[in-house]
Amino acid sequence: MTDDDNPPRRRGLGGEKKPTINDVARLAGVSKKTVSRVINQSPFVKEETRENINRIIAEIGFSPDPQARGLAFRRSFLIGLVYDNPNPQYVVNMQLGMLDAMRGSGYELVVHPCNRNNPTFLADFRRFIERQKLSGVVLTPSVSEDDRVKVILDEIGCAYIRIASVPVDEPAHIIVSNDRQGGRAAARHLAELGHTTIGFISGPPSFRSSHERRGGFDEELKDRKLKLPDDYVMQGAYTFESGVSCGTELLKLSPQPTAIFAANDEMAAGVLHAIRRAGLKCPEDVSVVGFDDFQIASSVWPPLTTVRTPTREIGRMAAEKLIGATDADDDDENPREAAPATSPALVVRDSTGPAPR
């Protein structure tokens, strides 16, 4: 009797044994993880490998158990997004980007808001990771800047990507947003418009982005022989209300600033409100620059000049990189390159103009 006389499901197997994922992996010459990726329609498998595995699955009659496949690899095919950012649009854009990358991959998104000031923050974070049995997690500022979180993830053995304004980890675990460049772009724009008396509203000190945006702004002003006096610096909270409050205080100064750079769009929108309440006009009396280029920037009046950060793109890059790291195994012939850092860019709208004479 020849091999071709046997039914397809018996080929390569003995007796009446029910085909398993181990059988598929052995016959295909790949790992179980690669077979799982094909079953879950992951995009991170070469087409030739995918076709070979699907052919073998059909030949031996293997039928994957949806519940057992997660247990086999001790993971849930879930990816977590952990954030403590007070700006809801940032979180929405990050989710949209991650979902862009996860579509068709077999992974699902779980969102976990947190508060780093809560005394149970670290314990709650650990419970979330362990309870969900996450395949991996994306950390956004300022959670991403907390090395205690990294220690927990390393102890658990959970893959992760940190999003931060500067490199805070090895290249395999980080996507850098380069906020300092954005701060320089804002200062350059205002200086070129002739502004010399400029106010600045920072974000919370617990966010590294606050220091990076301020640092870049200071550096560019210094390069242009301009100074940002301490009296013209206010600490905000990345919220509209803090923008109104800080903007009101800046407009009381003498001489009054002819331009204000707020470290995010929510605060910049608050500054516009403070300007109108003071009976002034933007940009005729005071120019305003924001940071992020979220929906609010083009919804307020006048539309905000702002520094665009590609948050949705960063979310997509983070999820792709995380899925690649989670799914990677020894039979990959071409390891994927690390995702590049992103660069902010100035978007000029109607909230900035030449310095008043």
| DSSP assignments along 319-340, one per residue | HHHHHHHHH--TT-SSPPPPPP
In this structure, are 185 and 304 located in the same domain? yes
Instruction: Flag whether pLDDT at 334 surpasses 60.
Output: no
Question: Does residue 275 contact residue 124 with C-beta atoms inside 8 Å?
Answer: no
Q: Would you say residue 7 lies in a domain?
A: yes
Q: Would you say residue 204 lies in a domain?
A: yes
Interval 106-162: pLDDT, tens = 889 999 999 988 999 999 999 999 888 888 999 999 899 999 999 999 988 889 999
Lowest mean pLDDT among 35-44, 105-114, 233-242: 35-44
* pLDDT on residue 1: 42
In this structure, are 193 and 281 located in the same domain? yes
Mean pLDDT for the stretch of residues 14-36: 80
Mean pLDDT for the stretch of residues 7-17: 51
261: domain CATH number is 3.40.50.2300
Interval 200-209: pLDDT, tens = 999 999 899 9
Q: What is the mean pLDDT of the chain?
A: 87
Q: Would you say residue 39 lies in a domain?
A: yes
Torsion sign over Cα 198, 201, 207, 209? negative
In this structure, are 187 and 108 located in the same domain? no
* pLDDT on residue 32: 77
Instruction: Flag whether pLDDT at 223 surpasses 70.
Output: yes
In this structure, are 285 and 221 located in the same domain? yes
In this structure, are 95 and 146 located in the same domain? yes
**How does residue 188 score in pLDDT terms, banded at 50, 70 and 90?**
very high
In this structure, are 43 and 57 located in the same domain? yes
Q: Would you say residue 281 lies in a domain?
A: yes
**How does residue 14 score in pLDDT terms, banded at 50, 70 and 90?**
low
In this structure, are 187 and 302 located in the same domain? yes
* pLDDT on residue 18: 81
In this structure, are 77 and 173 located in the same domain? yes
In this structure, are 157 and 187 located in the same domain? no
* pLDDT on residue 44: 62
In this structure, are 128 and 244 located in the same domain? no
Q: How many domains does the chain have?
A: 3
- Per DSSP bridges, beta strands 108-113 and 78-83 are parallel
Q: Which percentage of the chain shows pLDDT scores above 70?
A: 86
* pLDDT on residue 342: 85
Lowest mean pLDDT among 183-192, 242-251, 289-298, 322-331: 322-331
- The C-alpha atoms of residue 30 and residue 33 are separated, in whole angstroms, by 8
Which one of 55, 71, 87 terminates a domain? Answer: 71
Instruction: Flag whether pLDDT at 214 surpasses 60.
Output: yes
* C-alpha dist (Å) from residue 281 to 69, 167, 229, 258, 350: 62, 40, 24, 11, 12
Nearest 5 degrees, angle CA 7-CA 9-CA 14?
95
Q: Would you say residue 144 lies in a domain?
A: yes
Instruction: Flag whether pLDDT at 339 surpasses 90.
Output: no
Lowest mean pLDDT among 16-30, 234-248, 280-294, 326-340: 326-340
Q: Would you say residue 352 lies in a domain?
A: no
* pLDDT on residue 109: 95
Which one of 51, 71, 91 terminates a domain? Answer: 71
Residue 234 DSSP SS3: strand
* pLDDT on residue 7: 42
Which one of 19, 39, 71 terminates a domain? Answer: 71
Q: Would you say residue 344 lies in a domain?
A: no
* C-alpha dist (Å) from residue 95 to 101, 121, 307, 311: 10, 22, 21, 9
In this structure, are 33 and 147 located in the same domain? no
Nearest 5 degrees, angle CA 193-CA 196-CA 201?
95
66: domain CATH number is 1.10.260.40
Instruction: Flag whether pLDDT at 322 surpasses 90.
Output: no
In this structure, are 77 and 146 located in the same domain? yes
Interval 261-299: pLDDT, tens = 999 999 999 999 999 999 999 999 999 999 999 999 999
Q: Would you say residue 240 lies in a domain?
A: yes
The residue segments making up the domain with residue 7 are: 3-71
Beta-bridge mates of residue 308: 292, 345
